[in-house]
Chains A and B, each alone.
Chain A
Amino acid sequence: MSLKEALAHHRYLFRQMEAVRPSFCVFALFVAITTGIAGFVSNIVLLRYGFNAVQRQAPFTHIAVAFGVWLLVDLFIKSVRYAYQVWRIPLMAHDMHHHFAHLHVKNITIKHLIEEVTATYESLIRGMITCVANGILLCFMDPHLLLFALLPLVTLPLHTRQRALRGRVGRETTCLQTRLHGLGYSLRSYRESCGDVLRLLKRDGRHLAAVGYAVALLSEVVLEIGGMLYAVYGTVQGWFGYGDCLIAVTAIGSLSHTLLHLPELFASIRRHGEDAAHFRALTEGGDAA
């Protein structure tokens, strides 16, 4: 299923949710945006401010007041988020199930669909906020820092290869084992045929380890150590404050990991698109009948 088709099916699902419980989607959007911003502010901005303020010997009361105000705002956002995640989503699932009860759509189907789709879109929105906010911050601090965040993107093809390899090894191993068990499980037959599985794992395991090591080398070692080296050098030279140095690596890691996981998020949107299409076929068919 193409991304465009998946988005169309999701739009239908959101329209149905909005019809059953008006303003739910707006509320969900509000939660995703505010929690994305709140996470960035408390993990990056506040720590940077606190450390830099200490370095320039700002009055401690100023720091305490800034932390206190932010704490109150963050507590409010967190309370809204838990009310949404733990309370509102299960209620929404129940209401949708009740609304479409005449079509005999299973409760578990609707519950799973709503939970998965809302979680995916929330992650996508938060991811985008993380990318934009950290990108602007790093650009503002020193555009060279952005390079360390974008460098791991060269591992994207390796990531894709790693996923494909893992999937193939998993499928082939399961297939072999199912065949063995399908013959009637006996330890002797298993022992004799286990050689096939071991040969397969030996051949592909080395490959998988090499690709995994290359990904870790580029994305973890180059990113973490390179970014840290540059940030520390900047601090020693006096370009950066203590706070900048402390949060630079966190911001670089956060930006690059989010960028690396965006393809996975789009893949899961496509995957849930199929479930949404199934739900659409059931409800539209049922309504027409």
Chain B
Amino acid sequence: MKVKIHLQLLARVWVHAPVYAALFLVEGVLMGVNQAIGTYHIHHIFDLIEEQAGFAPIMHILVEFAVYLLVHYAFYHWFRDCYQPRAKERMHVSLGEGIAQNTAYTAEEVRRMTSQVDELLEDMGHIVTHTMAGIAIAVLLFRANVLAACICLFACAVRLSVVLFHNHLAVRHHEELAQLEEISGAFNLKADALRDYSHRKRALISEGNRRLARVTFAAEGSMMLIDFGVILLMLYQYAVKHTVSLGDVAVFMTALWILSWQVRGLFERLQHFCQS
């Protein structure tokens, strides 16, 4: 239900400020691709080092990368510091007028809606960034080695399911704590009862948080095991089997962590988008 309302709000932004919304998408795509560009260059550089191609072609790649970074930062700072704050104010007025003309919302409700739109646009931008970065990194990993890339994707899926379970446990734990606080607040407790309540609360915090710590450790530990395993597999294929290039190994060593962060970031943003 909330998602439907959020999508309707975003559709209104698209009608009233199409350039603003489109630039948010463009920024998201650029930021996402930016995450993978560095890794892409590292792949090429290490392959050239292995081929002993000399310094000139490597320098050519790095100069290209520098020019790309100059353009990227120029766009980023123009958008974030010059364009976006002013376009946001204009969009608030235009969107507010549009909503007020067609519906019976009060001015205060319109104001709240426009500030919610800001949050939704930020969420949308981040969702696009994480998705693009995840896809770009996954493509680089698959190009380097299909088996190791499949293991990485499996690791991401494992991590996501553990994070889901962790969030479920955390919500339940907070509900239990809130329930206990409610009971103690509803009655004017005497000293003995207050002490008893405090002991019960301590036991609840101890038990609940210990469980959460275990689940967090399980998630991170399993990711670490898989990451180390994948790096060892790549080193083995390079050093013993000679089936991958030096650039392929370098890609895995640099992109493994980035993929994991992007998938986690995407999940958290989606959750925020659906629940806010």
Contacts and interface: CB of A to CB of B under 8 A. Distances in A.
A206 B83 CA distance: 9
Interface string A99-117: 0010000000000000000
B83 to A, nearest CB: 8
Contact of B69 (A71, A173, A224): A224
Contacts of B90: 194, 198
Interface stretch (A138-146, A215-223, A257-265): A215-223
A121 interface: no
A95 B77 contact: no
A8 interface: no
B58 interface: yes
Nearest to A187: B96
A63 B100 CA distance: 67
A138 to B, nearest CB: 19
Interface stretch (B21-29, B118-126, B219-227, B267-275): B219-227
Interface string A53-70: 010010010011001000
Given A60-B235, A187-B100, A217-B70, A229 B62 contact: yes
Interface in B31-48: 38, 42, 45-46
A94 B205 contact: yes
Given A87-B209, A197-B89, A63 B54 contact: no
A253 to B, nearest CB: 11
Given A221-B73, A246-B253, A83 B213 contact: yes
Interface stretch (B103-111, B139-147, B149-157): B103-111
A289 B66 CA distance: 65
A183 to B, nearest CB: 11
A201 B85 CA distance: 7
Interface size, B (range)? 35 or more
B111 A94 contact: no
A232 B62 contact: yes
Contacts of A94: 201-202, 205
A197 B88 CA distance: 11
Contacts of B261: none
A274 interface: no
B66 A225 contact: yes
Contacts of B250: 246
B231 interface: yes
A50 B256 CA distance: 16
B49 interface: yes
Contact of B78 (A83, A185, A190, A209): A209
Nearest to A236: B55
Interface stretch (A9-17, A26-34, A74-82, A279-287): A74-82
Contact of A50 (B42, B70, B76, B231): B231
Given A83-B217, A232-B62, 12 more contacts: A67-B228, A71-B228, A78-B217, A82-B213, A83-B213, A85-B213, A101-B198, A194-B90, A205-B82, A212-B81, A213-B73, A235-B49
